[in-house]
Each structure stands twice: as structure tokens, then as C-alpha cells.
Chains A and B, each alone.
Chain A
């Protein structure tokens, strides 16, 4: 099965900082990648699908890029409400494996 590896596992940044999270697939998955945000105590929600398409209603400070095996989620200017754990998930085929998650905190 294809493995999804996220890095870093956690990060602490200041409000206004640019934050980058990476997700690497062990084999190419084209652009079949979704990014989720899970705030503490809440259910996950889709931020980005098809690697770079912003879900409706998601702030434009979030962006995604990549194709094949290497993907990036970027928060252009970190806000306090962005404190959450972020997960990538492949959906080229089953199993629809999640990455291990990246916990984002405010410094």
C-alpha cells in the first residue's frame, strides 16, 4: 500500500508567519490528494482537494500545490483560528490513507 508521510509532525509559528506543511506519497498519486483541518475537539473538514483546489468558504490564505509524490499545504499568514492539526489523504485508490498529521500551534 502507498504510505503518506507528513512533515513536520508539529510546528509553532507566530501570527502572520508563512507556514508550510509537506506530504509525501511513497508512490505517485497524480493530484489525488486532499488536505483536512481538524480543530481541537472538532471533526475534520476538507480545506483543499485535487491537491490545489480550495474548498468553498476556506480562506484564501490556505493554498495547496504538488503532484505525483510531493505535496505542500501553505498558510500564507498564520491566524490564531488556524490552530489545528492538518492531515493529507490520498484518494487515487483504496486504501485512502491519511498522513500522520501536523499539529500547528501559535508561538
Chain B
């Protein structure tokens, strides 16, 4: 069965970096783009962008350019989100998600809480 398993919670100081992983299994990794979604505490869902896993080509939503980098390692079927120069407002749960908008089938990672605090 399709599974997306994310890395565990992270605590970082302002200005540091963090890298979140999302390991896929149960399907051909390069057949689907991987979406990244942010949810700040008590807030709604924000689509951060996606990465085409077959080419490694990312696309970022407005507000997620510059400090946010999506990448993939197809040899281990894993997508990554790296955030640099962390700010307190980056504190959120970050989800990876595979969504097939043609069939409506969606698979989500369990979410990774990134806390930025001094």
C-alpha cells in the first residue's frame, strides 16, 4: 500500500536550517509529483509547491521562494524539504502529499512539526 513516512519533529533556533524527509513506498516514486503543505499552529493549509520527482524540477508558491528548497533522491524514493534562515513564523507542521487530482486519490505523510525557538 502507498505510504509516505516523514522524519520526526525538529527544534531549531532562529537562523538555523532544517531538512525534512518524506520516504515513499508502495508505488513508483517517479510517477507522481510530491506536494509540500504547511500548517501553522491553529491555522489553515498552505500549498508550498511541488517537485516533479522524475525530473527533480521544483515549483514554489509565492511566499516560499528563496529559503525553501525541494529536492528528491530517487534511489531511496525520498523527497526533501529544506528550510534555511529559520524564523519563528516557520513554526508549523509540514506535510508531504501525493495527490492524483484525476482520480481524487490522496496520500499524506504524517506531518513533521518544526519548532523555531530561541
Contact = CB atoms under 8 A, between A and B. Distances in A.
A91 B97 CA distance: 14
Interface in B79-103: 95, 97, 99, 101, 103
Given A91-B101, A98-B45, A43 B62 contact: no
Give chain B's interface residue range (CB within 8 Å of chain A): 20 to 34
Contacts of A97: 47, 61
B44 A55 contact: no
Interface residues of A, number: 27
Interface string A47-86: 0111001011000000000000000000000000000010
Interface stretch (B15-23, B24-32, B68-76, B106-114): B106-114
Nearest to A98: B45
Contact of B104 (A34, A100, A101): A34
Given A43-B95, A98-B44, A98-B47, A34 B108 contact: no
Interface of B: 35, 37, 44-47, 49-50, 59, 61-62, 95, 97, 99, 101, 103-106, 108-111
